Amino acid sequence: MPGVRSMYSYMGDFDESVPSNYFDVVFSISVVEHVLNEKVEPFFADCCRILKPGGMMAHAIDVYIFNVPGNLERLDLYRSAVETAGLEWVKQPKIDRRAIFKTCFASNSDATMGAWNKIVPTLRSVREEAQSVSVKLLAFKKKMKWR
């Protein structure tokens, strides 16, 4: 597509072929949850590096919520990494580690969950007890302030 540039390296590798302060938007759908814990901070730091000042970062992150609180510690890792990278929140995700799943909150149909079980059967036991939801993570790179 004219005016669209694709990147063929991993965020967090600080690939020099991807210029700093270049992109208006960095986004992903169902990607960040697959980044290893030790790579989350470099991932967001690299997102910040390649964004233009004022550029937007938008990620839809899938998480599983169970019927007891406390399984969402990774959200704290995302929050910390975004802030450490020097990004500012558009609006912080409202969900936190206290979130719990109740059947009245179901966001995916049984048919969808069944289809996902065919694609990744190793998550069947998780999906029997939890609900998959997407967390919206929106932040931007601060614009330079001139003195």
3-class SS of residue 115? helix
More confident residue, 38 or 3: 38
Residue 77's domain comprises 23-141
Phi, psi angle pair for 69, to nearest 5°: -75, 160
More confident residue, 11 or 69: 11
Q: Is the pTM of this model over 0.85?
A: no
The residue type found at 117 is N
Distance CA 29, CA 60 (A): 5
Each residue's pLDDT tens digit, 128-140: 778 888 889 999 9
Each residue's pLDDT tens digit, 83-123: 999 999 998 887 777 777 776 666 677 788 889 889 989 98
Task: Quote the number of domains for the chain.
Answer: 1
The CATH number that applies at residue 72 is 3.40.50.150
